Amino acid sequence: MSELLRIESLSIAPAAAPERLLVNQISFALETGKTTCIVGESGSGKSLTALAVMGLLSGQLQLVQGKINFQRQNLTGLNNQQMREIRGKRIAMIFQEPMTSLNPVLSIGYQIGEPLTVHLGLKGQALKTRIANLLEQVGIPAERANSYPDELSGGQRQRVMIAMSIACEPVLLIADEPTTALDVTVQAQILKLLDELKTRLNMSMLFITHDFGVVADIADNVVVMFRGEIVESGSVDQVLNHPQHPYTQALLACVPDAEGKKPLKPIDYAWLNAEQNGLAA
């Protein structure tokens, strides 16, 4: 299986304090047609990693070192205009909260159509037909194209975000906790939709989550992050069924079982204290 994306020794820090690494020399690869899940607590560097791939890091942050090789092209060496030609066309992203990502004063049809016009040059009836087709692909009636974001439910808004992201049929889809704000039933529908679209469009997916239940459903490979570093990575079977790192083991101990019989434990950071004491010695 060929590699689509390879991140090598990526480090990110505040521009005002480059010595304070928020992401510290992480490396992993994503194979064509596969799903890699990045798992970890809030603040572990998951979203920063995704934003770095998209070239959307805040001006208050800087990429200290590392390479992001996408289809054998180093994205870190591209300027903003070159990244705009890739972003939305070859790489697309679904953000966590659609209400802060969708423009409230523009119809959803207009917003879905924008990347089609910018990247593919579609206009007129061809554009309307493609928008209608995309809405139907994600389970929204085509006649809702003139609706505004506040006229849709949370699940429908997330479906609109998915339609926007797949509009140009990207080869890489980055999903940053796209189901966190949704109830369990809608979450299952969105995950099923993403999996179907990945297969139909032959996309690779980089999926960011803190939910191991989601990981078990969709992942081929898993990367576990803690405080900006990768502490464990491997196939979904290796990481979920044979975790090696104490942090991964602690995260899995927090996940309830289907019958509710498993005794749940808070995350135990004793391993971290032991590591720090060892370094101090």
CA distance 85 to 103: 21
**Mean pLDDT for the chain overall:** 89
Give the type of residue at 23.
V
Buried-exposed string 159-197: b where 16+ CB fall within 10 A, e elsewhere: bbbbbbbbbbebbbbbbbbbbebbeeebbebbbebbeeb
Q: Which residue has the higher pLDDT, 172 or 257?
A: 172
Contact residues for 19 (Cβ-Cβ < 8 A; gap 6+): 13
Task: Tally the C-alpha atoms within 13 A of residue 189's C-alpha that lie toward its C-beta.
Answer: 15
What does the block give as tokens for 200? 């139909």
Residue 266 has pLDDT above 80, yes or no: no
Q: Which residues are paired to 221 by β-bridges? A: 36, 235
Within-domain flag for 181: yes
**Same domain, residue pair 84 and 123:** no
- Provide the domain count of the chain: 2
In angstroms, the Cα distances linking 118 to 40, 115, 235 are 35, 5, 37
CA distance 34 to 190: 18
**Same domain, residue pair 55 and 183:** yes
**Same domain, residue pair 57 and 187:** yes
Predicted confidence band of residue 260 (pLDDT cuts 50, 70, 90): low
Nearest Cα to 37, choosing from 171, 28, 165, 11? Answer: 28
Radius of gyration of the chain (CA): 20
Within-domain flag for 95: no
In angstroms, the Cα distances linking 88 to 8, 94, 213, 230 are 23, 10, 28, 27
Predicted confidence band of residue 211 (pLDDT cuts 50, 70, 90): confident
**Same domain, residue pair 80 and 208:** yes
CA distance 163 to 51: 20
Percent of the chain with pLDDT strictly greater than 70:
94
Dihedral-angle region of residue 32 (phi above 0 means left; psi in -120 to 50 means alpha; beta otherwise): beta
**Where do the H-state alpha helices sit in 16-106?**
46-54, 80-86, 98-101
**Same domain, residue pair 75 and 9:** yes
Within-domain flag for 20: yes
Nearest Cα to 223, choosing from 66, 262, 118, 215? Answer: 215
Within-domain flag for 264: no
Within-domain flag for 242: no
- Position 76 scores a pLDDT of 93
- Position 274 scores a pLDDT of 64
Average pLDDT over residues 18-46: 94
CA distance 215 to 176: 13
Q: Which domain holds residue 126?
A: 101-169
Give the domain CATH number at 65: 3.40.50.300
CA distance 208 to 112: 23
- Position 1 scores a pLDDT of 63
**Same domain, residue pair 27 and 65:** yes
